[in-house]
C-alpha cells in the first residue's frame, strides 16, 4: 500500500487546458515536495510546502498543502507541451526520509 496516493495516474490533455493533480495520504506530513521527471532523467524539485493551507505559485503552476497536512494538489493553468512529464509528490517521514507517491504521467498535446 502506497503511503502517498496520487491521482490521476495518467493524464492526456490538449495545449491550453487546465489540470489538477492530487496527492493524498492518511498520514500527516511535516512537509511535502513536488518533483517533475523527464524521460531518462532523475526527478527535479519544483516546490516544497511546509505550512498547512500554504499556497505557492511557480509561474503557471500552483501548489497547495492541505490544512491538515495530509494532502496536496498541483494545478497547472494553460498547460503547454513543455509541461509533459512525470509529476511526483514526496512526503518527509521519520528518519529524514522522503516517501514518494506513484506519480502522475502528464502528456500535453500540441
Partner 1 sequence: DAGITQSPRHKVTETGTPVTLRCHQTENHRYMYWYRQDPGHGLRLIHYSYGVKDTDKGEVSDGYSVSRSKTEDFLLTLESATSSQTSVYFCAISWTGGNTEAFFGQGTRLTVV
Q: To 5 degrees, how large is the angle CA 71–CA 77–CA 78?
A: 150
Which residue number, 101 or 108, has a Cβ lying nearer to partner 1? 101
Site for partner 1 in 30-59 (CB under 8 A): 30-31, 33, 40-45, 48, 50
Of the candidates 21, 42, 41, 18, which has an alpha carbon nearest to the alpha carbon of residue 32? 21
Residues 2-31 within binding reach of partner 1 (CB under 8 A): 2, 4, 6, 9, 30-31
Nearer CB in complex with partner 1: 4/108: 4
How far CA 39 is from CA of 5, 21, 57, 66, in Å, comes to 22, 19, 25, 30
Q: Are 73 and 21 in contact (CB under 8 A)?
A: yes
* Footprint of partner 1 on 71-110 (CB under 8 A): 88, 90, 92, 95-103
What is the nearest approach in angstroms of partner 1 to the Cβ of residue 16?
Answer: 28
> Which residue from 95, 1, 104 is spatially nearest to 46, judged by alpha carbons?
104
Nearer to partner 1, 19 or 86 (CB): 86
Query: Residue 33 or 64: which CB sits closer to partner 1?
Result: 33
Amino acid at each position: 500500500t502506497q503511503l502517498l496516493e496520487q491521482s490521476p495516474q495518467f493524464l492526456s490533455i490538449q495545449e491550453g487546458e487546465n489540470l489538477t493533480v492530487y496527492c493524498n495520504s492518511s498520514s500527516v506530513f511535516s512537509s511535502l515536495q513536488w518533483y517533475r521527471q523527464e524521460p531518462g532523467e532523475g526527478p527535479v524539485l519544483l516546490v516544497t510546502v511546509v505550512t498547512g493551507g500554504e499556497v505557492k505559485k511557480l509561474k503557471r503552476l500552483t501548489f497547495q498543502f492541505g490544512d491538515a497536512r495530509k494532502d496536496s494538489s498541483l494545478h497547472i493553468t494553460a498547460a503547454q507541451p513543455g509541461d509533459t512529464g512525470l509529476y511526483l509528490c514526496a512526503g518527509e517521514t521519520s528518519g529524514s526520509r522522503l516517501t514518494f507517491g506513484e506519480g502522475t504521467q502528464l502528456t500535453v498535446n500540441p
